């Protein structure tokens, strides 16, 4: 047998083998692009990660929770619904609805556990920001609609990252979910985290996305909202400078503006909200540990002699 015929004998089966394995490589490659869900904590203001199919179908199922479209992530061999639970949700049994292609629906139940958030009492010198004037209320109403619409943004692409980077390096001045009192009057719970930093400190996108809108609002001051895909939306408030425009694509870590003290504030900070299926949830769930630890890790050591 010649060298050439040995080569032909060997190459042919290798070639056929490669051809046969091609779909496997394509599948593995596609699976590699899968995004891990954020950390689960099924409490009001948290996230429930619910497995929704026994087998992996090609297209993701259509899932809703309280009539709102829910994020579905590719868990490599199974689909996961990533459900944002509103702060006002009652503990107990909740359900998601799956609308199948054959027009049949399936209900999956999941449990929401109780969580008691701490109280926070804030004194504001500007009384108008506690009890706004009549004309302010008209403005506040219009702005609320704009912001709600932005939070209800839906785009089919999956988020590129569910492990966030800090939007600002500073100090955690107010955590998520606090039951708030302004000048001793009860108000809505804190729907985000506040990170205090000097005016002008850059604010960076914690994950890649597309700018939904920018604006200057009565309570929120200069504000930017980012769509990260499948209903994951983040909001940055009280900014000094806004450095982006609607529809602009931003990468993880890219600057979107600077820290300021516009709107209802007692000092320079960014109010940062994270929302899934229009439910404001604890941003901690998008970090390995929690924001406070991340902020301490990011702190630059003070030089001593």
Q: Which residue ranges make up the site for Zn ion (CB under 5 A)?
A: 194, 271
Cβ of residue 175: shortest distance to Zn ion, in angstroms? 10
Tell me how many degrees the CA angle 154-159-165 measures, rounded to the nearest 5. 125
**In this structure, how many other beta carbons lie within 10 angstroms of the beta carbon of residue 137?**
12
Question: Is the Cβ of residue 161 or residue 194 nearer to Zn ion in the bound state?
Answer: 194
Cβ of residue 220: shortest distance to Zn ion, in angstroms? 9
Comparing C-alpha atoms, which of 228, 189, 186 is closest to residue 205? 228
d(CA 201, CA 243): 12
Q: Which residue is nearest to Zn ion (CB)?
A: 271
Which one-letter DSSP state was computed for residue 61?
P
Residue 27 tokens, joined: 């599948």
3 state DSSP class of 239: strand
Question: Is the Cβ of residue 12 or residue 188 nearer to Zn ion in the bound state?
Answer: 188
For residue 44, CA distances in Å to 128, 273, 274 come to: 30, 15, 14
Cβ of residue 271: shortest distance to Zn ion, in angstroms? 3
Cβ of residue 56: shortest distance to Zn ion, in angstroms? 40
**In this structure, how many other beta carbons lie within 10 angstroms of the beta carbon of residue 279?**
25
Question: Is the Cβ of residue 193 or residue 244 nearer to Zn ion in the bound state?
Answer: 193
Question: Is the Cβ of residue 178 or residue 242 nearer to Zn ion in the bound state?
Answer: 178
Cβ of residue 192: shortest distance to Zn ion, in angstroms? 5
CB-count burial class (<10 Å; 0-12, 13-18, 19+) for 289: exposed
Question: Is the Cβ of residue 210 or residue 271 nearer to Zn ion in the bound state?
Answer: 271
Cβ of residue 174: shortest distance to Zn ion, in angstroms? 6
Question: Is the Cβ of residue 192 or residue 229 nearer to Zn ion in the bound state?
Answer: 192
Question: Is the Cβ of residue 228 or residue 271 nearer to Zn ion in the bound state?
Answer: 271
Cβ of residue 189: shortest distance to Zn ion, in angstroms? 11
Cβ of residue 91: shortest distance to Zn ion, in angstroms? 25
Question: Is the Cβ of residue 49 or residue 256 nearer to Zn ion in the bound state?
Answer: 256
For the chain, where are the E strands, in sequence order? 47-51, 62-65, 68-69, 71-74, 79-84, 92-99, 105-112, 119-122, 171-174, 179-182, 185-186, 193-196, 202-204, 209-217, 221-229, 232-242, 249-250, 255-259, 269-276, 279-281
């Amino acid at each position: 047998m010649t060298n050439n015929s040995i080569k032909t004998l060997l190459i042919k089966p290798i070639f056929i083998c490669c051809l046969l394995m091609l779909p496997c490589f394509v599948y593995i490659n596609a699976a590699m692009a899968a995004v891990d869900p954020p950390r689960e904590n099924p409490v009001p203001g948290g996230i429930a990660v619910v497995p929704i199919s026994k087998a992996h179908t090609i297209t993701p199922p259509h899932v809703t929770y309280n009539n709102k479209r829910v994020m579905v992530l590719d868990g490599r061999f199974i689909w996961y619904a990533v459900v944002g639970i509103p702060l006002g949700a009652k503990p107990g049994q909740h359900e998601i609805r799956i609308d199948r292609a054959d027009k049949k629906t399936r209900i999956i139940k999941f449990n929401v556990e109780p969580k008691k958030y701490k109280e926070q009492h804030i004194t504001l010198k500007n009384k108008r920001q506690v009890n706004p004037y009549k004309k302010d209320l008209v403005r506040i109403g219009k702005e609320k609609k704009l912001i709600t619409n932005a939070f209800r943004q839906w785009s089919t692409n999956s988020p590129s990252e569910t492990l966030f980077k800090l939007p600002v390096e500073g100090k955690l001045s107010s955590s998520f979910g606090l039951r708030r009192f302004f000048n001793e009057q009860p108000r809505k719970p804190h729907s985000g985290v506040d990170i205090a930093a000097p005016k002008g400190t850059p604010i960076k996108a914690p994950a890649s996305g597309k700018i939904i809108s920018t604006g200057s609002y009565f309570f929120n001051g200069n504000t930017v909202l980012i769509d990260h895909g499948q209903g994951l939306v983040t909001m940055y408030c009280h900014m000094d400078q806004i450095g982006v425009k609607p529809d602009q694509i931003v990468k993880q870590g890219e600057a979107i503006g600077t820290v300021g003290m516009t709107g209802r504030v007692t000092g320079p900070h960014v109010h940062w909200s994270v929302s899934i299926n229009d439910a404001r949830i604890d941003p901690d769930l998008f970090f390995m540990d929690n924001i406070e630890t991340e902020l301490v890790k990011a702190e630059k050591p003070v030089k001593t002699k």
